[in-house]
Amino acid sequence: MSILAKIAEIESEMARTQRNKATAHHLGLLKARLAKLRRELITPKGGSGGGPGEGFDVAKTGDARVGFVGFPSVGKSTLLSNLAGVYSEVAAYEFTTLTTVPGVIRYKGAKIQLLDLPGIIEGAKDGKGRGRQVIAVARTCNLILIVLDVLKPLLHKRLIEHELEGFGIRLNKQPPNIGFKKKDKGGINFTATCAQTELDAETVKTILAEYKIHNADITLRSDSTADDLIDVVEGNRVYIPCIYVLNKIDQISIEELDIIYKVPHTVPISAHHRWNFDDLLERIWDYLQLVPTPSRKANSLITHLLLYSPTTILQSRISASRFTKTSSKS
């Protein structure tokens, strides 16, 4: 049986299993087996399947690296072209970008590398398309921009998150507060410093046994899940901040735009009109937690002025709407 078939079988069994205390041990065991199979899928025993591959291995430069991830034809290439002045092929058909296209911007004196990655498809984590290579590059980024079509954001958001999660990328999360230390003897020493809703000593032992770990110290310092424990044991997860960039906002109403502004980690833009690029760059700066040096501060005003484009109909429309709402409240 192939790895994908084994993965599908385990996922089917998990979907059929009711979630309660009686099944917690069994589900924990299935999750551990699933994680091991996914690791094997990402890095086959032959050794050659996990690398970025030709056309994807771009040298890391500058103070930080930002990757554009999304489905085909959502505007990643247009965004890169307008942000960095780098030509990335744009056309009215899907999969126009077939390799990683790098660009560089300078903001507040910092040099930030941008990577336009080829569009991924559902099943990318399992090897469909060039998904493994795309996500392997995304793992090297300091920040991920998930570019979404504003007309179908929730569907694409869920699918992309599922693909990245399957490749060991955790978005906008902190590493689990779990202490894990292997030892030569003494069995499993389980300690929880706070109440646990999912994990207990038996579930922990079941998960560790799947990894052939029979001697270890485990300390749970927060309410943790089986997935958290598996992530710690696997040890190959990356925790990357993420901004959801909703493109093509000129196709929605002002009321819908106001709702988008309230969604965490989200920036609405119109890549074609360069609208809201200054807000996007400020968010990128904040998420990367870069610190301006004196020379960066000196260049920040010039850089900021260069970002502005001629006023568009969209800008006028939104500005008028906000002015009207403010006036009515006062």
CATH code of the domain in which 126 resides: 3.40.50.300
- Average of per-residue pLDDT across 178-206: 93
- Per-residue pLDDT band for 170 (boundaries 50, 70, 90) equals very high
Percent of the chain with pLDDT strictly greater than 70: 75
**Same domain? 214 vs 85:** no
In-domain check, residue 50: no
How far apart CA 106 and CA 112 sit, in angstroms, is 6
Judgement on whether residues 203 and 258 belong to the same structural domain of the protein: no
Which residues have a Cβ under 8 Å from the Cβ of 319 and sit 6 or more positions away? none
Residues 93 and 166 in one domain: yes
Residues 6+ apart with CB under 8 A from 236: 39, 168
- Mean pLDDT for 131-157 is 87
Residue numbers of the domain that contains 26: 3-43+176-234
Q: Is residue 326 included in any domain, yes or no?
A: no
**Is there a single domain that holds both residue 152 and residue 81?**
yes
Both 230 and 242 in a single domain? no
Confirm whether 89 is domain-assigned.
yes
Distance separating alpha carbons of residues 311 and 330, to the nearest angstrom: 27
Residue 7 in domain: yes
Q: How many domains does the chain have?
A: 2
pLDDT higher than 70, residue 327: no
How far is 90 from 96, CA to CA, in rounded Å? 6
Q: Would you say residue 324 has pLDDT above 50?
A: no
Assess whether pLDDT exceeds 70 at residue 173: yes
pLDDT band for position 98 (50/70/90)? low
| The pTM of the whole model exceeds 0.85 | no
Are 77 and 147 in a shared domain?
yes
Burial of 192 (0-12, 13-18, 19+ CB in 10 A): middle
* Phi, psi values for residue 247, rounded to 5°: -95, 165
Residue 184 lies in a domain: yes
Q: Please give the angle made by the CA atoms of 283, 286 and 290, to the nearest 5 degrees.
A: 135
Cβ count near 177 (within 10 Å): 15
Q: Do residues 283 and 220 share a domain?
A: no
pLDDT, the chain, mean: 80
**Confidence at residue 94, expressed as pLDDT on a 0 to 100 scale:** 43
**Which tokens sit at 316?**
């006028």
Has residue 163 been placed in a domain? Answer: yes
The pLDDT assigned to 22 comes to 77
Tokens of residue 70, six digits: 């999304």
Domain presence at residue 73: yes
Q: d(Cα 203, Cα 256) in Å, to the nearest integer?
A: 45
| 16 and 121 co-located in one domain | no
Put the strands of the sheet holding 110-116 in their side by side order.
101-107, 110-116, 64-69, 143-149, 242-247, 266-268
67 confidence band (pLDDT: 50, 70, 90): very high
Kindly state whether residues 205 and 261 are assigned to the same domain: no
- What are the tokens at 143? 């920040």
Residues 95 and 161 in one domain: yes
Among 115-129, 195-209, 288-302, the minimum mean pLDDT is found in: 288-302
In a domain, 59, yes or no: no
Answer yes or no: do 71 and 152 share one domain.
yes
C-alpha distances (whole Å) from 323 to each of 183, 206, 241 are 65, 60, 33
Is the pLDDT at 255 greater than 50, yes or no? yes
Stretch 119-141: mean pLDDT: 72
Pair (101, 168) in one structural domain: yes
